[in-house]
Amino acid sequence: MADRLLDFTLFNPPDVSLRKIPEPLVSWLVKPNASSFCQQAGPKDGFVSRPEGCVYWQLQASQCTIVTTGQTTHSQLGHLLVHCLEAR
């Protein structure tokens, strides 16, 4: 079984015209309980959780906060960043 954190497939980032947050200010936090941290964090306009991390965003401020556990991958950060850009 493939480790989904080691996803090296190429993809095209969403076109700027399709992004809800075209140029976000991105912060990265490391928390042992990443998913529950995003559920409780505020203020936020939305969030997406994955087993190993999450991201939440504020549309008006054009900000995203990526939260991962102490062990993550570049792939995980990339997936969360795309959710940030699309705000979904």
The confidence score (pLDDT) of residue 33 equals: 93
Mean model confidence pLDDT for the chain: 90
Task: For residue 40, give the 3-state DSSP assignment.
Answer: helix
What average pLDDT does the segment 49-56 reach?
91
The confidence score (pLDDT) of residue 75 equals: 85
Q: Residue 74: phi, psi to the nearest 5?
A: -60, -35
Examine residue 65 and state whether it is found in any structural domain, yes or no: yes
54-84 per-position pLDDT tens digit: 999 999 999 999 999 999 988 889 889 999 9
Domain extent, residue 53, equals 19-86
Count of structural domains, the chain? 1
Examine residue 13 and state whether it is found in any structural domain, yes or no: no
Q: Specify the pTM.
A: 0.87
How far is 46 from 33, CA to CA, in rounded Å? 18
Task: Give the model's confidence band at 29: pLDDT under 50 very low, under 70 low, under 90 confident, else very high.
Answer: very high
Examine residue 1 and state whether it is found in any structural domain, yes or no: no
The DSSP bridge partners found for residue 82 are: none
